[in-house]
Structure 1
Amino acid sequence: MDNIISVILGGGRGTRLYPLTKERSKPAVPLAGKYRLIDIPISNCLNSKLNKIYVLTQFNSASLHRHITRAYKFDNFSRGFIEILAASQTIESMHWYQGTADAVRQNLRFFNQPNIDLVLILSGDQLYRMNYEHLIKEHIKNGAEVSISAIPVERKEAPNLGILKIDEQGRIIDFFEKPKDEKVVDSLSLNANDFERRGVSAKGRTLLASMGIYLFNLEVLNGILKETNKSDFGKDIIPEIIKTRRVFAYFFDGYWEDIGTIKSFYEANLNLASLAPSFNLYSEKAPIYTNPLFLPGSIINDCRITESIISDGCMINNAEIRNSIIGIRSILGKNTLIQNSIIMGADYYETRANIRTNQAKKIPDMGIGNNSRIVGAIVDKNVHIGDHVNIENARKIEQLDAENYMIRDSIVIIPKGSILPSYTTI
């Protein structure tokens, strides 16, 4: 495990997660009240005894850099590190990252270190728990040059994923990125024996999808990226190398969610607040690490709370909260209802001077005021919501851009730092 470098891709512009990515990169988007998406792959690495980690960043990366720098520190006696590689101009390349493969290509000089044999390439915006040691052992056992972590999926999911086909040994013999042609999907379908042979129950699933997790022999990675100028692993590189390289699939059958859209982000968060969440935040053997903020415990007075997560440092008085995530430093007023919503909280507490300034400008204090009602919404950080505010997409509008809110996938989003005066109705 000491001879492996992990590379976490920070993602592109994150347009499908906008406006949550208006001021931050995708991996920096808050998760489950107190974490960030980047904490998932970093925690998986640390729990798998992988501690040589590079994070490749490009867009809106300031908050991501700050979070990583504060959260992850190694002592002087450890050879581990987490380093950020931001896109920059060099003699070899004058442009930004053009895709996943191009991002890795531009940073190969950092990965070509003495005694490094393997490079593990991960996405920074997925929710799952994996022990990468199992993937690495199977990679070595198969004599693979490249291994791709793959998960069984149903046919209806094919148009959104890269679909693999394997032979009896598990070697990948065909690959299509987001196939929509029914005949192509038919050609990629596997039978139940293909899954059960590897200890996975089919459960009605007939396809094998790439998770965007790649393990390369370093020598092979160098050769592949120098042979071609193609920019993306899933769309360009993988379909080509399966013809000439030993590329194997590693079967994964746990929970996995690609947090690529507002809908997937919303549903994955609320699932974490359910009585039987698909992803377990409470594992002692494989915890999720994050920046220790040293916040006080939340003050909760005369509230009714069901199937919800309440993060640290909140002040909640006489509120009703159902199936929701309440983020750090959230302040909720009296007689407020929060239902099926994600309240991200705040980056800081307002001072008395701030509050006096708010009053002079007739701006509500940061947080959510009295007698307000928020249903089916995502409220980003540092939002000022007054009294008697009603937020609910009762007309089921699919998409809308307004002055101080947006609707995506029928979910109302209040962008970071927005101000909603008292008696506002959305």
Structure 2
Amino acid sequence: MPDHVPPELDATVLILGGGRGTRLDPLTRMRAKPAVPVGGKYRLIDIPISNAINSGTRRIYVLTQFNSHSLHRHIARTYRFDPFSRGFVQILAAQQTPATDRWFQGTADAVRQNLGIVAETSGDLVLILSGDHIYRMDYRELLAEHRRSGAEITVAVQPCSEQQIAGFGAVRVAPDGRIVEFREKPKTAAERDGMQADPALLEAAGADRARPYLASMGLYVFDKRALFELLEGDATDFGGEVLPAAVGSRRVQAWLFDGYWRDIGTIGSFFETHMDLLEPRPRFSFYDPRWPFFTHPRYLPGSRLAETRSERALVCEGATIERARLCRAIAGVRSRIIEADLEDVLVMGADEYEVGGPPPGVPPIGIGPGTTIRRAIIDKNARIGAGCRLVNAQGLAHADGDGWAIRDGIIVVAKNAVIPDGTTI
């Protein structure tokens, strides 16, 4: 982890954290999307902030808007730099000012409304990141490519399949790496026509030909001057407006990244990303001392497991698990699982230990005895009683209930929900 980077690779970091995250409902009903817990103990926002810190780019602003209380609290508790350091993580919340009386209207508008702060920063590069992706990246490589190519804008791209490209911005790249066309979320064959990457370009990057399209990852490097000029108009979105317009008038370069990267856009992708963590040789892991991911220190005791069988399980600190079966399961901080059978389940745990027992008439926080759960996400502080069956026996793709929902075929028990004894879903 570098203490500093060369001046030519120094950048001001803007992390976009203000989206509603409606496709992650019900996980985003009570929190901003970047505040959603991941990996049992982290939050989504920890990913780009940790990547930036590890890359030595430590002037970091997080732009926030919706449901932002827990996100603000987490950042304030976690990222406290040494007073003699020049680094910081600072929140830029949407606000009404004499210059503007409206909230952020999109990604580009969020940056536009904070250009006054960006103008005061040193250096001439701005690194713009999304707050809802899971990946490990050394941003110095991206910044170095931006300098080497002489670009005004550099877009990180990743090879993807025809099915995947419909959800991303597609770029067409010349042999020298310059982006010559940008199409936002091409869903039809006509919209995808001509957008396949040169096979030689994919081969040179070590990418397979089964993923012939290049998708924008939502990671951009801008020359500060170019950013200010492009945001002089009223465009509200980078992917839909700013970048397609810039391709015709600016030097926009692609930087191909073929490492693990997931856009956490839906409940299905969120769930599958967590199941990826449980593979015997996962492509992405939080276990890398050379590139640690940071989060709020909780000072919890070690987890206690008694008479429990596990197969590919990840158990975070402070958990209590007794006479349970965990098969492809993640137990988050302070999880309490008693005599339950879990398979393909993410349990986020609890914010606090329950002292003195539960209120009258409700189960304790955690998962009670005799309960079976399959393909589910259990949000924080959920109370699941005894003898429940959360298995989606009807195979529903989408449903809503009291304290629970089914999205993409995955059962989601909401934060603070109470699931009474004997419930079947």
TM-score (norm. length: structure 1)? 0.96
C-alpha displacement of 1:116: 1.9
Give the partner amino acid of 2:308: C
Query: d(CA) in 2 for partners of 1:283 and 1:264?
Result: 23
> Alignment partner for residue 7 of structure 1, among 1, 5, 14?
14
Partner of 1:333: 338
The equivalent of 2:182 in structure 1 is 175
Provide the C-alpha distance between the structure 2 equivalents of 1:379 and 1:134, rounded to a whole number of angstroms: 37
After TM superposition, list the pairs within 5 Å mapping 1:409-420 onto structure 2: 409-420=408-419
> Residues 340-373 of structure 1: CA distance to partner in whole angstroms, max 9, x if unpaired?
0111110001111xx1x62xx2111111111111
Partners of 1:174 and 1:153 lie apart in 2 by 17
User: Which aligned pairs between 1:327-406 and structure 2 lie closer than 5 A?
Assistant: 327-334=332-339, 336-352=340-356, 355=357, 358=359, 361-406=360-405
Give the counterpart of 1:125 among 132, 150, 168: 132
CA contact (8 A) 1:337 1:374 kept: yes
Q: SS where residue 40 of structure 1 aligns?
A: helix
Residue of structure 2 equivalent to 1:324: 329
C-alpha displacement of 1:114: 5.0
Alignment of 1:194-343 (within 5 A): 194-197=201-204, 199-226=205-232, 228-334=233-339, 336-343=340-347
Q: Aligned ranges for residues 128-207 of structure 1 at < 5 Å? A: 128-197=135-204, 199-207=205-213
Gaps of 5+ in 1: none
CA distance in 2, matches of 1:28, 1:333: 28
**Contact kept in structure 2, 1:274 and 1:308, CA below 8 Å:** no
RMSD: 1.1
On the 8 A contact 1:11/1:123 being kept in 2, the answer is no
Q: CA deviation at 1:184?
A: 3.2
Measure the CA separation in 2 of the matches of 1:251 and 1:380. Answer: 35
Identify if the C-alpha distance between structure 1 residues 12 and 65 changes in structure 2 by more than 3 Å, giving closer, same or farther.
same
2:87 is matched with which residue? Answer: 80
Q: 1:184 to 1:425 in 2, by over 3 A?
A: closer
| Structure 1 residue 202, shift from structure 2 partner | 3.1
Fraction of identical pairs, as percent: 44
For residues 189 and 416 of structure 2, what CA distance do their matches in structure 1 show?
46
Structure 2 unaligned residues grouped into runs of 5+ = none
Offset of residue 13 of structure 1: 1.0
Q: Deviations over 1:88-127 (max 9, x none)?
A: 0011111110000000000011111253210000000001
Cα pair 2:371 2:387 within 8 Å, conserved: yes
Counterpart contact for 1:11–1:58, Cα < 8 Å: yes
| TM-score relative to the length of structure 2 | 0.96
**Secondary structure of the corresponding residue to residue 376 of structure 1:** strand
Deviation, 1:282, is: 1.0
Q: Provide the C-alpha distance between the structure 2 equivalents of 1:21 and 1:169, rounded to a whole number of angstroms.
A: 41
2:207 maps to a residue whose letter is S
CA contact under 8 A between 2:180 and 2:248: conserved in structure 1? yes
